[in-house]
Amino acid sequence: MKFKLTSAIVVTCLVLTSISCKNEKKNESEVTISENTVETPVVSLQYAVDKTSSIIEWTGKKPIGQHTGTIQVIDGAINTKEGKIQNGTFTIDMNSIVVTDLEGDKKAGLEGHLKGEGEGKEDHFFNVAKYPSATFEMTHITEKEGKTFAEGNLTLKGVKKNIAFPVSVTTSENNISLNSDVFTIDRTQWGVNYKSKSVVENLGDKFINDDIELKISVKATKI
């Protein structure tokens, strides 16, 4: 009887551990081969991205803490037909990377490292001298399991991959706002491999998580 009780406790612990691990990632985006961009409908309305109020918030984590920041969406357009979003394009200024949880020299140091400043550090993260911008080509807006998803091709460091993430869309007479839930992407899919334990061996607890959390807020105005 004691053996059966112990076994039951062990099984219960394993189940709870499994559930806990699955819940660590927020809306993990499945990365797939990039899709062909859908052509803009002939009869459509176009909305230009407002760069003053369009932003991506990011969080990078490691065993002993995390860092947060923002990146600006500086250009792009959303195309609609009969009041529904069809597709869109967005340009992300990688030089606009800002760290929001640090100040002074530490803030400047991390921002420089992320941008690839410093000899031998150019390709640790985003190498903005070589890849000054990233793009997202939104090919579809779909409904799945009661949620709205934006799907399209994210090009980062010259690598194009298809991703999907949950969004909410708000429309008015002259504006469209597209706001994502927090979701994650695996940075190594785009060759951002610095201190990734899935790429580099023997890092111990000195690794940086592969998953980056993102939250996208885009506002666009009718042209």
Determine, yes or no, domain membership for 215: yes
For the segment 67-108, what is each residue's pLDDT rounded down to a tens digit?
A: 999 999 999 999 999 889 999 999 999 999 999 999 999 999
Q: Does pLDDT of 48 surpass 70?
A: yes
Report how far residue 86's alpha carbon sits from residue 41's, in angstroms, rounded to the nearest whole number: 8
For the segment 169-214, what is each residue's pLDDT rounded down to a tens digit?
A: 999 889 999 999 999 999 999 999 999 999 999 999 999 999 999 9
The pLDDT of residue 43 = 52
Q: Does pLDDT of 133 surpass 60?
A: yes
pLDDT band at 40 (very low <50, low <70, confident <90, very high): low
Determine, yes or no, domain membership for 12: no
Determine, yes or no, domain membership for 11: no
Q: Provide the domain limits for residue 122.
A: 29-222
Determine, yes or no, domain membership for 182: yes
Q: Does pLDDT of 23 surpass 60?
A: no
Determine, yes or no, domain membership for 186: yes
Mean pLDDT of 146-162: 97
Residues 10 and 2: beta-carbon distance below 8 Å:
no
Report how far residue 10's alpha carbon sits from residue 144's, in angstroms, rounded to the nearest whole number: 36
Determine, yes or no, domain membership for 7: no
User: Which residues share a beta bridge with 143?
Assistant: 148
- The residue among 23 and 131 whose pLDDT is bigger is 131
Q: Does pLDDT of 151 surpass 70?
A: yes
Determine, yes or no, domain membership for 3: no
Instruction: Report the number of distinct structural domains present in the chain.
Output: 1
DSSP 8-state assignment for residue 173: S
The pLDDT of residue 37 = 60
What CATH number does residue 34 fall under? Answer: 2.40.128.110
